[in-house]
Amino acid sequence: KAGVTQTPRYLIKTRGQQVTLSCSPISGHRSVSWYQQTPGQGLQFLFEYFSETQRNKGNFPGRFSGRQFSNSRSEMNVSTLELGDSALYLCASSLAKGPRNYGYTFGSGTRLTVV
Amino acid sequence: SQQGEEDPQALSIQEGENATMNCSYKTSINNLQWYRQNSGRGLVHLILIRSNEREKHSGRLRVTLDTSKKSSSLLITASRAADTASYFCATDRTSGSRLTFGEGTQLTVNP
């Protein structure tokens, strides 16, 4: 079966712009989580969605937002981009709420560069 | 902030040797998971060990968990050049439904 699909793979944006990243989870998976990975901070949790509801949010400013659609696809949005938002953004899907029993399946990520 | 630490930060070995990576964490957990990441790519789930388990095997992987010491180790036996990657431990804490990752160990297996 198809894995977790993230689009686009690479993105270059200018400071102050906004960006939307997309994630399609594995078919049947209802939980989608987002992580930011940077060399300095490592892997940081952004938020988790389950059945269109945000269940958890990490310690990120309000410029970072997300949503999940009825088909479980998810988008995350970053407004007023800053240089420090340059990172690899990873989406992970899971069969149930959170990573409790099965672990996560990650997508290949979206590499965002803010210039 | 990271849940825990991994050690060593970097490890370089020859093909055929065993590689051991350690992970420490700070809070109570439901389970601990190990992931592999090839350069700049997504994370691949390797193995999950529950808090009531002490050891688990999967192919060439062996994971141990010591909840009294809040630590885990990942052993890769008979390593191959294709095992070259970053390895992360991640904890699923009892207090939340997210994974908290360690800083990772960069493993290089030389042919």
Per-residue pLDDT of chain A (115 residues; tens, 9 = 90+): 679 999 999 999 999 999 999 999 999 898 999 999 999 899 999 999 998 999 889 999 999 999 999 999 999 999 999 999 999 999 999 887 655 667 889 999 999 999 9
Mean pLDDT of chain B: 92
Reported as a pLDDT band with limits 50, 70 and 90, residue B6 is confident
| pLDDT of amino acid B1 | 43
Q: A41: which DSSP letter?
A: T
Q: Is B40 left (phi over 0), alpha (psi -120 to 50) or beta?
A: left
Burial class (CB in 10 A: 0-12, 13-18, 19+), A93: buried
Token pair for A12: 């270059």
**CB contacts, 8 Å: B98 with chain A:** 33, 45, 48, 56, 58, 98-99
Reported as a pLDDT band with limits 50, 70 and 90, residue B10 is very high
CA B111 to chain centre: 22
Model confidence over B48-86: pLDDT tens digits?
A: 999 999 999 999 999 999 999 999 999 999 999 999 999
| pLDDT of amino acid A1 | 61
Q: What gap in Å lies between CA A52 and CA A61, rounded to an integer?
A: 21
Distance from CA of B46 to the nearest CA of A (A): 9
Tell which residue, A67, A48, A68, A50, has the closest CA to residue A58. A48
Reported as a pLDDT band with limits 50, 70 and 90, residue B7 is confident
Rounded percentage of chain B residues whose pLDDT exceeds 70: 93
Mutate to test the interface with A, among B3, B35, B43 (most CBs of A within 10 A): B43
Distance from CA of A56 to the nearest CA of B (A): 7
- Is the pLDDT confidence value at B47 over 80? yes
